[in-house]
Structure 1
């Protein structure tokens, strides 16, 4: 396998060629690695569309638009499918441990209870599922686990929600592919979700752009690739123009085949990501002014190595100089306007947006080049 220093994992050319020829298996067989016992799965192109399907299903049950509670540390672009259907979204605050601020959640519930409560397993680390389940029992809300940053079910992930959604396309070298998994005896009935899916657009995204980008990343000389990357790189606090997610909720045949092929190596993928997380964070410890935000991933698979800086000034400096050192790096997320416009109500989310830096740990990462990038960083005049 060819390894390079990129943010996303890179596919192999044999896997790409095979996906053009093979016919994907059944939905249940493709989703097998994400299912436990009598669970049911639905496949989408992106998890944002899976969440829309769940909200539509809840609307059928309630007879009105449901009130959806999301954490305030949430990517704004992914809310587009919910806005399309006029969902009533409310943002609850989180703590620096990346868990819901339960005191604030219960206080907010005194004014208006949620119909759907979404808990996020940030960066692959299990959140407080037991507390979320208890909160939903007391408020009557349906519990949804956002496991988009989780590679697959693991202790504390996928065990409590009526529904859990995963985004394999974030972890595996595939162009698209996400899953909504309904637990056995979920309050979301499979037949109701099937009906919701039939009310969504019957379109799947093309994989052409993904194929072009990944081929370029694999084939272009490193010098040219670095120049292109730097030219397209945003500044630390720049969110860029808001992107409207194309209304293409289905997963294409090519996407399903790539997903099925890649899912056969989840165990090795998880082991490599944990190993790379340890390697990257160990290298990062040599830089002053930041520390890992998440715990050691012994039982879960990291999506990124997330470093929290002591302040915004330090974060911007490290981010800028890592880019100059040819290390792929990103900030996250583009917060919703409701969160950025009321910073006193969402202090932690805004603080994390200003101080966190994400580094790659994926399974095709060249760790030797990571070391080279950090060595260049430490020789930077401003370090």
Structure 2
């Protein structure tokens, strides 16, 4: 039965990413799925893209080399290769985002490919053993991109263990303002990091706390910090005014924390903040995995039978801890605009690809970029927020399907 005329819950403001709460620290340390950090040499850096650059550098990527990147990608994945002096070529992906091995083998045969970046999109692990064999046969390095898959395994093989190096984006899974990691289970990491200064440390902590306060978490702490936060805002505004007046002041935090696609080499030797590292040590991995899986399955059930859509993955594999819930939508622009007006957080991953990457390069990537909308399923969503999200998405799909194209 259609619910077009069913009143929706009142508009809510729900967190698009994990935010801190007291509940984040409950639930136990032992997760049902392995972590990217388990059994690996690791360096905690400020973003996943910095980790990509460091991984490529560790593989000896340099001028004249080619790095193969999936045609379905975030534009932030490309500048790290350019930082190393390499060129980037794109390989095709299959409709489920798995790498097209035949296309990769064709490009490897050209002989200039130094490294391949393979991504576990949306937290659903791929079987990378065949790609590993291809890399070994052609002498290419493999970087396992686990930015969407901090936890997980495929057929008992933990994410991050197949590549020469693996990278992660801790700020996608933990309630922190910045953070990424470079790891390897195959090599020792010859990477030395240093602190980024008091301003960065303060901003990383306060921004994470303010994100929690903005969504109604940690109310007692918010009251206690009200005066210091007002002082911080005044100092920040004064600093910005000096910068706008022509003074040059270095950024206190990497632009990656504010959703840019840039690669700032000044952060290549900086470690993640003390606050972010402390959160990683203290919050419950078991809760992250269990709640993300539950929230993903709940949203999939809520959308079962909704018109004009289908989940990218028919089922959530046992070994997956999802980053977001990816939905293929027949009328994506209409649905997106409807949900945007309602204030629903979402991501259109791959909608903007690197210049020159289009359907002629990879039809599947272009199709995914046009039709996919991803919705949050992170661990910080409470019962009311999830119910509101489910209702809004289903209502938007039904409303748009009822309007003639």
TM-score band, normalised by shorter chain? 0.7 to 0.9
What whole-Å deviation, never above 9, does each CA across 1:42-71 have from its counterpart, x for those lacking one? Answer: 111111111111222222xx7756421111
Determine the C-alpha separation between the residues in 1 that align with 2:165 and 2:135.
13
Query: Could you tell me which residue of structure 2 aligns to residue 298 of structure 1?
Result: 318
The structural deviation recorded for 1:146 is 0.6
> Secondary structure of 2:388's match?
helix
Aligned match for 1:177, one of 176, 179, 191: 179
For 1:273, the equivalent position in structure 2 comes to: 292
Equivalent of residue 275 in structure 2, options 237, 242, 254? 254
Q: Who is 2:243 aligned against?
A: none
SS at match of 2:78: helix
Q: Which residue of 1 aligns with 2:6?
A: none
Distance 2:398 2:135 in 1: 52
Match of 1:11 in 2: 20
Shift of 1:152: 1.9
| Alignment map for 1:1-383 (pairs within 5 Å) | 5-12=14-21, 33-37=35-39, 39-59=40-60, 66-155=65-154, 156=157, 157-183=159-185, 186=186, 188-190=187-189, 193-194=190-191, 197=192, 203=196, 205=200, 206-207=203-204, 208-218=206-216, 243-246=261-264, 247-249=266-268, 250-262=271-283, 265-294=284-313, 295-310=315-330, 314-333=331-350, 334-340=352-358, 343-365=359-381, 366-374=385-393, 376-377=395-396, 380=399, 383=402
Q: Distance in 1 between matches of 2:400 and 2:42?
A: 53
TM-score using structure 2 length: 0.73
Task: Tell me the distance in 1 between the aligned counterparts of 2:59 and 2:259.
Answer: 31
Query: Cα distance 1:283–1:33, how it changes in 2: closer, same or farther (>3 A)?
Result: closer
Question: SS at 2:183's partner residue?
Answer: strand
Q: Deviation of residue 14 (structure 1)?
A: 9.4
How many residue pairs get aligned? The number is 329
Which deviates more from structure 2 when the two are superposed, residues 101-110 or residues 366-375? 366-375
Deviation at 1:305, TM superposition (A): 0.7
Say which one has the larger Rg: 2
**Scaled by the length of structure 1, what TM-score is found?**
0.76
Q: Is the 1:120–1:146 contact (alpha carbons within 8 Å) kept by the matching residues of 2?
A: yes
Q: Say which SS state the counterpart of residue 280 (structure 1) adopts.
A: helix
Rounded Cα–Cα distance in structure 1 between residues aligned with 2:260 and 2:183: 29
Counterpart Cα distance in 1 of 2:179 and 2:389 = 28
Supply the distance in 1 between the matched residues of 2:378 and 2:368 (Cα, whole angstroms).
23
- Distance between the aligned counterparts of 1:47 and 1:174, measured in 2? 14
| Alpha-carbon spacing, 1:379–1:290, altered in 2? closer, same or farther (3 Å) | closer
How large is the RMSD of aligned CA atoms in angstroms? 3.1
1:357, distance to aligned residue in structure 2 (A): 0.5
Contact 2:24–2:287 (CA under 8 A) maintained in structure 1 = no
Mapped partners of 1:153, 1:299: distance in 2: 5
- Residue 375 of structure 1, CA deviation: 6.0
When residues 81 and 141 of structure 1 are mapped into structure 2, their CA distance, relative to the original with a 3 A threshold, is closer
2:71 and 2:394 map into 1 onto residues whose CA distance is 36
